[in-house]
């Protein structure tokens, strides 16, 4: 059964049985055939069309790359309320949470710097995220593995993350959810959607989460607002506008993490709750996103779509960064740098494209052509204390008692950054079908980048133009079995400087992927086996910090990444939904040595749910996330480990359900990312219970 059919059944049943829980006896509901139909509505993955990789109307099966999708059902089943938690379940993706408020994402050995919202790329990113992005406003999240410069202009061979926002529905629907979990974590969600009149539809999503943490002194408070309205100006013209706010505050946020080594070279072993942050540390991150979209359909096969997006992120925090290696007995010897940091990121993006189908050689072909204009401004400043690099009160630093200094050292010419970047690009893609089973995908994007940078006293001016080609091939050998291959060049501008403080220049290279896809269960599940490889030149590798300027110094190196992935997602059997994947990665530098060894070379991830056939209304499932050992330099700092999560949901009646989620059931103690020679421990065993009302 296709997803559209499932939703149609769901909406009709909700309309038929709308009302409160006591409208009819629960036993009657449990015994009804209609409830059995509702039980079969869950789906992992995405069997329908996705435009994230090429903007063409392709299913995941037809896309010549691996596309992983975390669906709304999987988000709800595992209570994935944060983007970080969601991406931990994507096969082949690592979430490098280097401290409480800063995170990198990696795939295929490289940082993910390509982000989309509803298929429109954010054209500038370090790959570093601040704060904690909530998932309440998203219908699903798609991760396209490999280079996707065709759409974003940043052809990095890791992956592209596309956040697909919820849209207004034609039928009225509403839901509310209340949750309570470990460390006094409280959360409420509400989602209401439907027609305002015959031509206007709207949707409103709000969420509030507040709680403490397993980390000493660390607590968070997050507010989410998302509103969207769509109007049919004519029968063929739709106007949509939206605004969202994700406001996150934290106390006791760490800057940096726990030291990995003692002064004698032995590995540290702290309690999981140990936090380097003092009691006065705090962070505020506020994200606002607005867009207006106009779509004009021309006949049945053509459309023009224009979207203007305006994003802003405001950041402020007081932090204490600890450095060094403490004495194994006294815990003294660390030095600290206290700072007051403020920054603001602004993005203005306009995207216009036309898409349609045409007939050539007696077969239907597809084409997309468009332009994209982006203006990005990033500003920041750091105010330090004249007592910086002081000893953080010896061995009592973990108690959070390091006093707050006066932030009295600021030189705008040396302690601020100002980045102004403009990107103008034009792109096209097409799918040609020489035969019924053979498809050829071709495309290219030309990007012109002008960038003015003043980074902590060092001016940079960069201007570059690059055309990034894309080619893909799919061949359906027999019904449900697809061979595929894809190729893309690699291009990414960098803001790093070398030892002479000159701009490092862009990264360039190539990326290839080929494999086979197999459909199961009437197209509701897809198995993919893929081989990938990529080469990059002039990749910025951190060398040292310039003491005089405070600027990080990089050098350009050559890197090669190769490996394979096996992924299965969808409704593999009736009532059984699954998302599973195994990734093997081999990454070498220009000398043939292993590099970026903080990333696991082997990963296995599994998420599954099962609707119990003889107990209508009961849905159970769980997940496993396993990785092999990781290193800092030549030292193994974290052995292989597996995390197990479990959940159970029960539909009390047609309106009310209850759920219990357990995380890290085995209470595994493990380190998060050791990328910078420091690492906090991940969360120990925890639980969250919830009650959901739907109409």
**pLDDT for 679 beyond 90:** yes
pLDDT at 392: 79
Q: Of 352 and 150, which is predicted with more confidence?
A: 352
Q: How much is the CA Rg of the chain, to the nearest whole Å?
A: 25
Query: What is the average pLDDT score of the chain?
Result: 87
Confidence at residue 387, expressed as pLDDT on a 0 to 100 scale: 74
Contact between 180 and 188 (Cβ < 8 Å): no
Backbone angles phi, psi at 102, to 5 degrees: -125, 135
Q: What are phi and psi of 74, to 5 degrees?
A: -70, -40
Q: What is the pLDDT of residue 113?
A: 85
Contact 489, 457 (CB under 8 A): no
Question: What pLDDT band is residue 498 in, cutting at 50, 70 and 90?
Answer: confident
Q: Are strands 282-298 and 237-251 parallel, antiparallel or unpaired?
A: antiparallel
H/E run at residue 5: helix 3-16
Q: Report the pLDDT value the prediction gives residue 125, as an integer from 0 to 100.
A: 58
| Cα 272 to Cα 281: distance, rounded to the nearest angstrom | 19
Smallest CA-to-CA distance from 530 within 514, 518, 550, 519 is with: 514
Q: How far apart are CA 622 and CA 647, in angstroms?
A: 6
- Give percent of the chain above pLDDT 90: 63
For residue range 438-479, what is the model confidence (pLDDT) as tens digits?
A: 999 998 989 888 888 776 556 667 788 888 888 999 999 999
SS3 193: strand
- Average pLDDT, stretch 357-364? 92
Least confident of 168-177, 398-407, 581-590: 398-407
Of 154 and 689, which is predicted with more confidence?
689
Contact partners, residue 269, CB within 8 Å, separation at least 6:
none
Contact criterion met (CB below 8 Å) for 71 and 86:
no
Residue 640 has pLDDT above 60, yes or no: yes
Q: Measuring CA to CA, how many Å separate 341 from each of 131, 291, 311, 380, 463?
A: 14, 29, 20, 7, 29
With a cut of 50, say whether residue 105 has pLDDT above it.
yes
Reported as a pLDDT band with limits 50, 70 and 90, residue 58 is: confident
Residues 669-692: what's their mean pLDDT?
Answer: 96
pLDDT higher than threshold 50 for residue 36: no
64 DSSP 8-state letter: S
Q: Report yes or no: 70 and 577 within 8 Å, Cβ to Cβ.
A: no
- pLDDT tens for residues 256-292? 899 999 999 999 999 999 999 999 999 999 999 999 9
Whether 343 and 379 have beta carbons less than 8 Å apart is answered as yes
Distance between CA atoms of residues 308 and 239, nearest Å: 12
pLDDT of residue 124: 57
Residues 6+ apart with CB under 8 A from 609: 42, 44, 73, 74, 77, 576, 577, 619, 620, 621, 647
User: For 399, which DSSP code?
Assistant: G
Q: Where are the beta strands (DSSP E) in 335-437?
A: 335-360, 363-385, 407-409, 416-432
- CA neighbor of 504 nearest in space, from 449, 462, 559, 563: 462
Q: Are 194 and 214 in contact (CB under 8 A)?
A: no
Give backbone dihedrals phi and psi of 595, rounded to 5 degrees, phi first: -140, 165
- At 55, the pLDDT band (50, 70, 90 cuts) reads confident
Q: What is the pLDDT of residue 346?
A: 93
* Alpha-carbon gap, residue 115 to 118, rounded angstroms: 10
Please give the pLDDT value at position 126. Answer: 62
Percent of the chain exceeding pLDDT 70 equals: 88
- What pLDDT is recorded for position 147? 74
Q: What is the mean pLDDT of residues 540-558?
A: 76
Ranking 25-29, 388-392, 447-451, 609-613 by mean pLDDT, the lowest is 25-29
Half-sphere exposure of 688 (CA within 13 A, CB side): 23
Sign of the alpha-carbon torsion through 326, 330, 335, 341? positive
Question: Comparing 4 with 444, which gets the higher pLDDT?
Answer: 444
Q: Which residues pair with 541 in a beta bridge?
A: 555
User: Is the predicted pLDDT of residue 13 greater than 60, yes or no?
Assistant: no
pLDDT at 628: 97
pLDDT, average across residues 623-648: 97
Tell whether the model's pLDDT for residue 34 goes beyond 50: no
Q: What is the mean pLDDT of residues 428-440?
A: 94
Q: Which residues of 375-396 are buried (b: 16+ CB within 10 A; e: fewer)?
A: bbbbebbbbbbeebeeebeeee
Rounded CA separation 368/578 (Å): 33
Give the tokens for residue 445: 């994007």
Reduced to 3 states (helix: H, G, I; strand: E, B; else coil), residue 28 is helix
Of 532, 596, 599, 585, the C-alpha closest to 559 is 596
What secondary structure letter does DSSP report for 255?
B
Give me the residues paired with residue 95 across strands.
Answer: 105
Look-up of token digits 């759920």: 659
CB 538 within 8 A of CB 506: yes
Instruction: State mean pLDDT over 574-592.
Output: 94
Tokens of 600: 């696991």
**Cα angle 58-244-81, degrees, rounded to a multiple of 5:** 75
Higher pLDDT, 659 or 339: 659
**Contacts with 591 (C-beta within 8 Å, 6 or more apart), sequence order:** none
**DSSP code for 514:** E
Residue 152 has pLDDT above 70, yes or no: no
Please choose, from the candidates 223, 288, 222, 284, the residue with its C-alpha nearest in 3D space to the C-alpha of residue 253: 284
Residue 479, classed as helix, strand or coil, is: coil
pLDDT tens profile 209-244: 999 999 999 999 999 999 999 999 999 999 999 999
The residue written with tokens 């938690």 in the block is 85
How far apart, in whole angstroms, are the C-alpha atoms of residue 596 and residue 599?
Answer: 6
């Amino acid at each position: 059964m296709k997803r559209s059919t499932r939703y149609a059944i769901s909406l009709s049943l909700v309309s038929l049985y709308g009302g409160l829980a006591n409208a009819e006896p629960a036993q009657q509901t449990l015994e009804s055939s209609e409830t059995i139909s509702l039980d079969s509505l869950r789906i992992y993955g995405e069997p329908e069309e996705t435009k994230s990789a090429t903007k063409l109307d392709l299913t995941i099966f037809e896309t010549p790359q691996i596309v992983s999708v975390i669906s709304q059902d999987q988000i709800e089943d595992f209570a994935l309320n944060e983007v970080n938690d969601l991406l931990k379940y994507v096969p082949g993706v690592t979430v490098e949470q280097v401290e409480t408020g800063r995170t990198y994402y990696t795939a295929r050995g490289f940082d993910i710097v390509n982000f989309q919202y509803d298929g429109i790329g954010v054209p500038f990113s370090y790959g570093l995220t601040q704060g904690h992005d909530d998932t309440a406003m998203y219908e699903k999240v798609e991760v396209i593995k490999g280079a996707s410069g065709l759409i974003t202009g940043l052809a990095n061979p890791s992956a592209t993350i596309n956040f697909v926002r919820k849209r207004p529905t034609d039928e009225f629907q509403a839901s509310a959810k209340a949750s309570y979990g470990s460390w006094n974590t409280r959360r409420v969600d509400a989602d209401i959607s439907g027609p305002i009149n015959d031509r206007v539809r709207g949707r409103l999503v709000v969420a509030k989460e507040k709680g403490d943490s397993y980390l000493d002194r660390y607590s968070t408070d997050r507010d989410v607002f998302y509103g969207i309205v769509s109007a049919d100006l004519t029968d063929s013209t739709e106007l949509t506008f939206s605004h969202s706010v994700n406001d996150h505050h934290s106390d006791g946020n760490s800057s940096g993490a726990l030291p990995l080594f003692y002064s004698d070279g032995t590995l540290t072993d702290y309690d999981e709750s140990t936090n380097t942050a003092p009691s006065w540390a705090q962070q505020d991150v506020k994200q606002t996103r607005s867009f207006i979209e106009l779509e004009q359909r021309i006949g049945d096969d053509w459309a023009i779509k224009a979207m203007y997006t305006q994003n802003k992120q405001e950041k402020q925090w007081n932090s204490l960064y600890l450095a060094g290696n403490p004495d194994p007995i006294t815990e003294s010897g660390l030095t600290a740098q206290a700072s007051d940091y403020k920054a603001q990121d602004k993005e203005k993006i306009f995207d216009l494209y036309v898409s349609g189908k045409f007939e050539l050689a007696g077969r239907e072909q597809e084409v997309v052509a468009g332009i994209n204009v982006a203006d990005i401004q990033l500003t920041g400043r750091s105010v330090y204390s004249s007592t910086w690099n002081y000893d953080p009160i010896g061995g009592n630093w973990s108690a959070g008692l390091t006093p707050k200094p006066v932030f009295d050292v600021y030189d705008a010419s040396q302690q601020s950054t100002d980045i102004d970047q403009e990107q103008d690009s034009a792109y096209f893609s097409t799918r040609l079908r020489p035969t019924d089973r053979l498809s050829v995908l071709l495309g290219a994007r030309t990007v012109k980048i002008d960038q003015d940078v003043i980074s902590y006293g060092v001016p940079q001016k960069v201007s570059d133009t690059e055309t990034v080609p894309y080619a893909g091939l799919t061949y359906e050998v027999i019904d449900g079995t697809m061979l595929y291959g894809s190729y893309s060049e690699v291009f990414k501008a960098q803001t790093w400087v070398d030892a002479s403080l000159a701009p490092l220049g862009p990264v360039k290279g190539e990326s290839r992927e080929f494999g086979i896809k197999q459909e199961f269960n009437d197209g509701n599940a897809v198995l993919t086996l893929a081989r990938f490889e990529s080469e990059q030149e002039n990749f910025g590798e951190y060398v040292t910090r310039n003491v005089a300027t405070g600027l990080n110094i990089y050098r350009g190196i050559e890197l090669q990444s190769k490996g394979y992935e096996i992924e299965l997602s969808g409704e593999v059997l009736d009532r059984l939904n699954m998302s599973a994947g195994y990734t093997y990665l081999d990454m070498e530098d220009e000398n043939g040595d292993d590099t970026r060894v903080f990333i696991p070379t082997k990963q296995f991830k599994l998420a599954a749910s099962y609707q119990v056939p003889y107990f209508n209304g009961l849905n159970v499932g769980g997940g496993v996330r396993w990785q092999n050992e990781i290193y800092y330099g030549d030292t193994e700092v974290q052995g292989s480990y597996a995390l197990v999560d479990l959940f159970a949901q029960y539909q009390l009646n047609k309106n009310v359900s209850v759920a219990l989620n357990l995380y890290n059931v085995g209470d595994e103690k493990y380190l998060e990312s050791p990328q910078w020679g420091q690492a906090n421990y991940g969360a120990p065993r925890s639980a969250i219970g919830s009650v959901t009302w739907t109409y």
